[in-house]
Amino acid sequence: MPIPTSQHVVNIYKHASVLPQSVWDVLRQDERRANIMYPHALKSLHTEGGEDVQLWMTCSTFHTLDTHPTLDLILSCTEGPFGSYPIFILPTAPFDALTHDYLYPRVGQLVRALLPVVGPQRVFSIFAPEPVTKLFARYWSQLTGIAAYEQPYYAAKHTYCTRETFVDRCLSIFPDLSYLPRLATESDISAVAELCFGFSSTSEPFVLTEKRARKEAKYLIRQGLIWVLQANLGSAPAEIASIVAVTRQSDAVAGITKVYTNPRWRKRGCAERLVRHVTKALLSHKRSVVLFVAHDNPAAAGVYHRVGFAGLDDSKRRVEGVEPWLEIGFDRRAVRLGHW
């Protein structure tokens, strides 16, 4: 279903199973950056049919002397287990090449092709590398009349840890703290639900009710996607102090999400212990572990830096593969809010 322009072409695909090989090649070659999109594409291969929207779009450039176009942008508009995902866009160009002149015609073509397919209400937010997000939000608002919020939903740095950068150490502080990192089990549903609810309360507007938090906890536990740190001080009963979810995995990369510590257990190194344990376990069979850390959360950045995630120290040195991503939302009175 090609939509031609003078130079750029947008193609629309209604299911991951019909994506061309060139798209799969890009996703595999840049697994770290594609972690927000690639694992879901892999899962979607096994969900033919059904009523959920699984929309994929590409923007490619035709060069006069070349017989094959250059794939520039991949967009996904898909559904998750608890609602619609934001619009995700993956560029193939390096971050420094994502200039206004480069993005302007390409993002414009995607926006104009997306609107008649999904309608204005489906796009509740856009998440992509910062320059892509800003331009998409501006284009979408101009085309639909739906205002984008000035305050972003999420502004974060995308970072990674490898076996070479990983820092394996034991925390010597709090000698009276006993802890056990492990995969969550059915008996942990109530405790995990409490922490899922707490995490969502920090993630406006994607706030869960207690009922939906329990549903999310059951799903994550039964899918084997969430780790817990069971901890106790002295002879006190053990509690679930922290959680870490691992919901996006492909062949060589795993993504950590939903890192949250019970307020009763903060400032005791619980998150660092659990993140280090989970990262080490994942690196036993993955080449990289990736995550997003919010710009306004220096405490979390410090934890991830001590574990070995790149580009999170105090220096201004640019680290290849570590880049700012941005989520911008649209007027919630005019859209259908999803969840991710």
Per-position DSSP letters for 206-232, written without gaps between them? -PPPHHHHHHHHHHHHHTT-EEEEEEE
**E-assigned strands of 92-133?**
125-129
Residue 7: what pLDDT?
86
Q: Is residue 315 part of a domain?
A: no
Distance of CA 150 to the CA centre of its chain: 21
What is the percent of the chain where pLDDT is above 70?
Answer: 94
Q: What is the CATH number of the domain that holds 256?
A: 3.40.630.30
Q: Is residue 340 part of a domain?
A: no
Using CA atoms, how far apart are residues 80 and 290, in angstroms rounded to an integer? 20
Q: Is residue 103 part of a domain?
A: yes
Q: Are residues 95 and 237 located together in one domain of the fold?
A: no
At 84, list the tokens.
């619609």
Q: Are residues 119 and 205 located together in one domain of the fold?
A: no
* Structural domain of 95: 2-154
Q: Is residue 94 part of a domain?
A: yes
Q: Are residues 201 and 237 located together in one domain of the fold?
A: yes
Q: Are strands 87-91 and 125-129 parallel, antiparallel or unpaired?
A: parallel
Q: Are residues 126 and 150 located together in one domain of the fold?
A: yes
Q: Are residues 97 and 210 located together in one domain of the fold?
A: no
pTM for this one? 0.93
Using CA atoms, how far apart are residues 196 and 184, in angstroms rounded to an integer? 13
If you ran DSSP here, which 8-state letter would residue 68 be given?
Answer: S
Q: Is residue 317 part of a domain?
A: no
Q: Identify the three-state secondary structure at position 320.
A: coil
Q: Are residues 80 and 103 located together in one domain of the fold?
A: yes
Q: Are residues 228 and 291 located together in one domain of the fold?
A: yes
How many structural domains are present in the chain? 2
Q: Are residues 228 and 255 located together in one domain of the fold?
A: yes
Q: Is residue 299 part of a domain?
A: yes
Residue 5: what pLDDT?
45
Q: Is residue 259 part of a domain?
A: yes
Looking at this protein, which amino acid is placed at residue 114?
L
Q: Are residues 144 and 271 located together in one domain of the fold?
A: no
* pLDDT at residue 126 greater than cutoff 50: yes
* pLDDT (tens digit per residue) in 301-332: 999 999 999 999 877 788 999 999 999 999 99
Closest CA to 260 of 200, 211, 313, 310: 200
- Domain termination site, one of 125, 154, 183: 154
Contact 146, 335 (CB under 8 A): yes
Q: Are residues 134 and 176 located together in one domain of the fold?
A: no
* pLDDT (tens digit per residue) in 144-169: 999 999 999 999 999 999 999 999 98
- Domain termination site, one of 124, 154, 184: 154
pLDDT band at 44 (very low <50, low <70, confident <90, very high): confident
Average pLDDT score over residue span 210-216: 97
- Domain termination site, one of 97, 127, 154: 154
Q: Are residues 77 and 214 located together in one domain of the fold?
A: no
At 117, list the tokens.
């397919």
Q: Are residues 102 and 187 located together in one domain of the fold?
A: no
End-to-end alpha carbon distance in the chain: 29
* pLDDT (tens digit per residue) in 192-202: 999 999 999 99
* pLDDT (tens digit per residue) in 223-270: 999 999 999 987 788 999 999 999 999 999 999 999 999 999 999 999
If you ran DSSP here, which 8-state letter would residue 309 be given?
Answer: -
Using CA atoms, how far apart are residues 245 and 223, in angstroms rounded to an integer? 11
Closest CA to 325 of 291, 299, 300: 291
Q: Is residue 293 part of a domain?
A: yes
Instruction: Give rounded-to-5 percent helix, strand, coil for the chain.
Output: 35, 30, 35
Using CA atoms, how far apart are residues 99 and 94, in angstroms rounded to an integer? 10
Q: What residues are paired with 231 via a beta bridge?
A: 179, 239
* pLDDT (tens digit per residue) in 168-178: 988 766 767 89
Residue carrying the six token digits 């040195």: 317
Using CA atoms, how far apart are residues 9 and 238, in angstroms rounded to an integer? 58
* pLDDT at residue 51 greater than cutoff 60: no
